[in-house]
Amino acid sequence: MIKSLNHLPHPQENALVLASHFTDLAPPLNARQAELESSRCLYCYDAPCVNACPSDIDIPSFIRNIQQENIQGAAQKILSANILGGSCARVCPTEVLCQQACVRNNAQECAPVLIGLLQRYAIDHAQFSEHPFKRAAPTGKRIAVVGAGPAGLACAHRLAMHGHEVVIFEASEKSGGLNEYGIAKYKLVDDFAQREVDFVLQIGGIEVRHGQRLGDNVSLTDLHQQFDSVFLAIGLAASRQLGLAHEDAPGLMAATDYIRELRQSDDLSELPLAERCIVLGAGNTAIDMAVQMARLGAREVNLVYRRGLQDMGATGHEQDIAKANQVRLMTWAQPDAVLLDDRGQVRGMRFARTRLEDGRLVNTGETFELAADAVFKAIGQTFNEAALSDPLAHSLQRVGDRIEVDEQLRTSIAGVYAGGDCTALGQDLTVQAVQHGKLAAQAIHAQLMLNQEAA
């Protein structure tokens, strides 16, 4: 249980009612809806939706397959580009990627083809009698993948396709990374993250070792010596700090820690509930945290951000979800002090009002206070520095708090690659992480085969 919030009450509604608040955010299309929606696609020759897709899915092609009632072909087309196409169809911000680029999204129609829902329809209704991808002849090469999140799974699957043996080292009890532990419960329902992991592993040639934490019982030095290549997909496991006094007080915690607990809970009525809560941040994690607290029964949820709505990392669609759940979005306010009661527990927070002055964010000198039973930080993630504590890992070139990689996902250490959120390349999106894993696998395979020919 979440120790920092043990003093809080539980939700008043029972487990069954609470579970009904966390059903699918976007209900799937039925067959007739999929038929009608797929007929709206113009099958553009130089489709802008494909250019907007980080994982290069041939969108017109898979939609044409749906229109022709070839669901297996549609799913195969999606999965060949994005092996985690099912989860990406559910969590990808299609409203600012492929659907925003759709030519139907114009002033006359204002309605793009619902690409994300069509992608989900194809994946969910494909009935493969066996795994749709076959392994190539064994190469005798072994690759270590650190992290069983989207980047690690995508890399492992593509390497296995090429005939390599892969060992995934995962710190948590379950595979899936953010899909399992960090996404709002209403976005990935019915244990979908684990079902997708099982599907990926069906290709064979992939071993997953849980409870293996880089910097603890696994070192990059050992992996570099024991395997032909290493792919780091370690994400960003630590939450950024506010830099304020009493940051460790009961009632103040990282939003990701609470979301993790919520997603693993079989009985939501056992969770601690902050009836008045503050969420600090502006990204999707902040929205997820705020909305989920509202759905658990909080009567007052304030999401507070130091800049304006237009600067929020969360898309307009995500902001609308928050508003629909009675979350109040408060902008131009920066955390100034954690307020405690006489028992040393959080009772609220003081904020300094902010404004832009010559392009710089400054305090106006005004402050205000918000009462709260709990404060959740969603101000960004950073490295758990212990992960890169051994001498070889410590020598990795960094860009700020990310690992530096080139366009082939190579780090500064020969034979070591990295992808996903732990790198400074691209966007912090599930679909981008999948693409990183795929590209890294291609680069690793090409280098290993080149070395084999040279030998």
Q: What is the CATH number of the domain that holds 185?
A: 3.50.50.60
Which of 350, 380, 410 represents a domain boundary (last residue)?
A: 380
Residue 57 and residue 187 in one domain: no
Does 248 lie in the same domain as 223? Answer: no
What pLDDT is recorded for position 400?
85
pTM as predicted: 0.95
State pLDDT tens for residues 59-76.
999 999 999 999 999 999
- 3-state SS record for the chain: CCHHHCCCCCCCCCHHHHHHCCCCCCCCCCHHHHHHHHCCCCCCCCCHHHHHCCCCCCHHHHHHHHHCCCHHHHHHHHHHHCCCHHHHHHHCCHHHCHHHHCCCCCCCCCCCCCHHHHHHHHHHHCCCCCCCCCCCCCCCCEEEEECCCHHHHHHHHHHHHCCCEEEEEECCCCCCCHHHHCCCCCCCCCCHHHHHHHHHHCCCCEEEEECCCECCCECHHHHHHHCCEEEECCCCCEECCCCCCCCCCCCEEEHHHHHHHHHHCCCHHHCCCCCEEEEEECCHHHHHHHHHHHHHCCCEEEEECCCCHHHCCCCHHHHHHHHHCCCEEECCEEEEEEEECCCCCEEEEEEEEEEEECCEEEEEEEEEEEECCEEEEECCEECCHHHHCCHHHHCCCEECCEECCCCCCECCCCCEEECHHHECCCCCCHHHHHHHHHHHHHHHHHHHHHHHHHC
CA separation for the pair 217, 232 (Å, rounded): 16
- With respect to residue 299, please indicate whether it lies within any of the assigned structural domains: yes
- Give the model's pLDDT for residue 382: 87
Residues 375, 267 share a domain: yes
Shared domain check, 319 and 197: no
Q: Is residue 131 part of a domain?
A: no
Q: Does residue 233 share a domain with residue 243?
A: no
Show which of 356, 380, 404 is a domain's final residue. 380
**Residues 435, 387 share a domain:** yes
Q: Please report the pLDDT score of residue 455 as a whole number.
A: 56
Per-residue pLDDT, 453: 67
Domain assignment of residue 21, yes or no? no
In a domain, 115, yes or no: yes
Report yes or no on 19 lying in a domain.
no
Same domain, 340 and 424: no
Q: What is the pLDDT of residue 421?
A: 93
Pair (266, 373) in one structural domain: yes
Establish if 426 belongs to a structural domain.
yes
Report how many domains make up the chain: 3
CATH of the domain at 119: 1.10.1060.10
Asked, for residue 24, whether it belongs to a domain, the answer is no
- pLDDT, tens digit, 9 for 90 and up, residues 357-372: 998 999 999 999 999 9
Of 344, 365, 380, the position where a domain reaches its end is 380
Q: Which residues of the chain have a pLDDT value below 50? A: none
- Does 278 share its domain with 362? yes
Domain of 68?
Answer: 31-125
Task: Looking at the structure, tell me whether residues 261 and 353 fall in a common domain.
Answer: yes
Q: Quick: pLDDT tens for 84-130.
A: 999 999 999 999 999 999 999 887 777 999 999 999 999 999 999 89
Does residue 337 share a domain with residue 264? yes
Q: Are strands 238-239 and 381-382 parallel, antiparallel or unpaired?
A: antiparallel
pLDDT in tens, 192-245: 999 999 999 999 999 999 999 999 999 999 999 999 999 999 999 888 999 999
Q: Is 135 domain-assigned?
A: no
State whether 389 and 415 are in the same domain.
yes
Q: How far apart are CA 385 and CA 237, in angstroms?
A: 9
